[in-house]
């Protein structure tokens, strides 16, 4: 049954305000997160990009852009942990030669291997909030640092907008009185994630490309950011809310995260980095109000699992990679917040997804702040350019006015105006078959000196034109005044 509106949480409770202190702490936390996710433990992620789409109402997955492509690359990058468990089986197929170039690494999803004989990562305890890729026949290990989240060319032409529409409609669609508290809560969460993903796409966007070919120039789509990210205050507010939610989850899972084995075979350890990030996350979490959760755990989890399964219908593999990772990260955060910390156990994929998702959200908040400042600079530059053009026009007008105020200029205009009239009289007379000399003599301008330049004649014609307008206007005003006085009499 629908809970009466009076007993529901208000939007202010779902989305607390984002103060300056929180934004400052985020800018302090971001460099630490970015360094952490580049470590060997966090940069490899297990994902199934071939999971079957279970939603028949969505179009078949497809993407015609080369930025969406999949490329199988090096097998030697994956380390083992201290227990001797390797991420991959020792016997593996040879490297794919076409994936060794920098271009391939830049434009394709860098899959390390795709084999059913993978030694699975340990620690599969827990009740995941998303579809578990561990049960898929074909699982790939991906180097996230070689596959940045950005524009891929997967657009509405490939029905990409159907995916987000299905995600929102599968929850509750547009928020109204028929939505339950769980649906309202998830709508805020999904909107925040949508804003983050859109921010990464628009701030690392292809602004020059060959149609159906590779991108030639990358940059920021400022118009897209203004329309799709800054278009409504709720977009950025929901992003802040989701970032706070993940920070609170990381803070609550501190003990569970410190129990994870981060040591790997090449001596690369990120334990100290994890501790520093957890310390900063705790400070950030304490600086903001606690996130209010919906009352029904089971209903919230079921809704979120159904929504997250729609990502399997995405046609772009790189988009699917980051979509599945971030939905897993958000699902892990929700599982943490709904679970007793003493009973919490996290899988390796959940830890990697949680910290990478937190990094992406933190980056989005930072990018939005920087783009807002850049937009202000662009607007200020436009205003200065307009002011400069106006100033130049004013200088030109002032110069002409000063020239007209010169007595010599007026004398020259008077002499050249006669020549200009004579020139016009000659032209008209020649057209109608009348003798030009007779015309000049009749209007009294015969024998004018030929000492004026072409520019002088033009200026004289302009003066004559505006003088004639002034005379006509004066005659009209005189006629109007006479008619008014005649009426009064």
Q: SS3 string of the chain?
A: CCCCHHHCCCHHHHCCCCCHHHHHHHHHHHHHHHHHCCCHHHHEEEECCCCCCCCCCCCCCCCCCHHHCEEECCCCCCCEECCCCECCCCCCCCCCHHHCCHHHHHHCEEEEEECCCCCCCCCCCCCCCCCCHHHCCCCEEEEHHHCCCCCCCCCHHHCHHHHHHHHHHHHCCCCCCCCCHHHHHHHHHHHHHHHHHHHHHHHCEEEEECCCCCEEEEECCHHHHHHHCCCCHHHHHHHHHHHHHHHHHHHHCHHHHHCCCCCECCCCCCHHHHHHHHHHHHHHHHCCCCCCCCCCHHHHHHHHHHHHHHHHHCCCHHHHHHHHHHHHHHHHHHHHHCCCHHHCCCCHHHHHHHHHHHHHHHHHHHHHHHHHHHHHHHHHHHHHHHHHHHHHHHHHHHHHHHHHCCHHHHHHHHHHHHHHHHHHHHHHHHHHCCCHHHHHHHCCCCCCCCCCCHHHHHHHHHHHHHHHHHHHHHHHHHHHHHHHHHHHC
pTM: 0.69
Spatial distance between the Cα atoms of 489 and 486, rounded to a whole number of angstroms: 5
Read off the tokens for 150: 């950005």
pLDDT score for 467: 74
pLDDT score for 45: 84
pLDDT score for 116: 38
Residues of the chain with pLDDT under 50: 1-14, 16-17, 70-73, 84, 88-108, 110-125
pLDDT score for 315: 81
265-289 confidence digits (pLDDT tens)? 556 678 888 999 899 888 877 777 7
pLDDT score for 340: 86
347-366 confidence digits (pLDDT tens)? 888 999 999 999 999 999 99
């Amino acid at each position: 049954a629908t809970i009466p509106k009076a007993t529901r949480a208000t939007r202010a409770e779902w989305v607390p305000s984002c103060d300056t202190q929180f934004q400052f702490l985020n800018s302090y936390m971001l460099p630490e997160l970015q360094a952490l996710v580049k470590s060997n433990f966090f940069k490899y992620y297990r994902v199934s990009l071939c999971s079957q789409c279970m939603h028949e109402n969505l179009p078949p997955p497809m993407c015609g852009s080369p930025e969406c492509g999949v490329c199988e690359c090096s097998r030697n990058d994956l380390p083992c942990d201290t227990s001797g468990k390797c991420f991959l089986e020792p016997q593996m197929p040879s490297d794919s030669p076409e994936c060794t170039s920098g271009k391939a690494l830049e434009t394709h999803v860098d899959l390390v291997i795709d084999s059913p004989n993978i030694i699975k990562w340990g620690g599969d305890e827990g009740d995941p909030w998303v579809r578990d890729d561990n049960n898929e026949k074909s699982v790939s290990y991906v180097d996230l640092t070689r596959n940045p989240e950005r524009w891929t060319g997967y657009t509405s032409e490939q029905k990409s907008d159907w995916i987000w529409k299905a995600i929102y409609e599968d929850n509750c669609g547009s928020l109204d009185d028929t939505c339950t508290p769980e649906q309202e809560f998830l709508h805020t969460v999904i909107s925040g994630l949508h804003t983050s993903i859109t921010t990464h796409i628009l701030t690392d966007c292809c602004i020059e490309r060959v149609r159906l070919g590779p991108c030639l120039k990358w940059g920021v789509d400022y118009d897209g950011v203004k329309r799709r990210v800054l278009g409504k205050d709720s977009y950025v507010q929901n992003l802040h809310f989701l970032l706070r939610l993940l920070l609170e989850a990381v803070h609550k899972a501190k003990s569970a995260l410190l129990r994870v084995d981060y040591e790997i075979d090449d001596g690369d350890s990120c334990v100290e980095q994890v501790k520093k990030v957890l310390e900063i996350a705790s400070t950030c979490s304490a600086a903001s109000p606690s996130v209010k959760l919906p009352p029904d755990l089971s209903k919230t989890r079921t809704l979120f699992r159904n929504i997250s399964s729609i990502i399997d219908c995405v046609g772009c593999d790189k988009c699917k990679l980051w979509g599945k990772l971030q939905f897993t990260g958000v699902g892990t955060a929700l599982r943490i917040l709904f679970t007793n910390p003493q009973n919490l156990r996290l899988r390796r994929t959940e830890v990697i997804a949680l910290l990478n998702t937190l990094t992406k959200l933190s980056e989005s908040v930072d990018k939005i702040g920087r783009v807002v400042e850049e937009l202000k600079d662009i607007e200020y530059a436009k205003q200065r350019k307009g002011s400069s053009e106006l100033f130049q026009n004013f200088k030109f007008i002032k110069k002409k006015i000063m020239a007209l105020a010169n007595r010599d200029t007026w004398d020259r205009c008077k002499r050249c105006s006669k020549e200009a009239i004579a020139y016009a009289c000659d032209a008209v007379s020649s057209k109608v078959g009348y003798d030009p000399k007779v015309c000049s003599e009749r209007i009294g301008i015969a024998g004018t000196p030929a000492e004026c330049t072409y520019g002088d004649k033009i200026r004289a014609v302009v003066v004559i034109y505006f003088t004639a307008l002034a005379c006509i206007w004066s005659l009209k005003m005189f006629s109007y005044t006479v008619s008014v006085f005649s009426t009064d009499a």
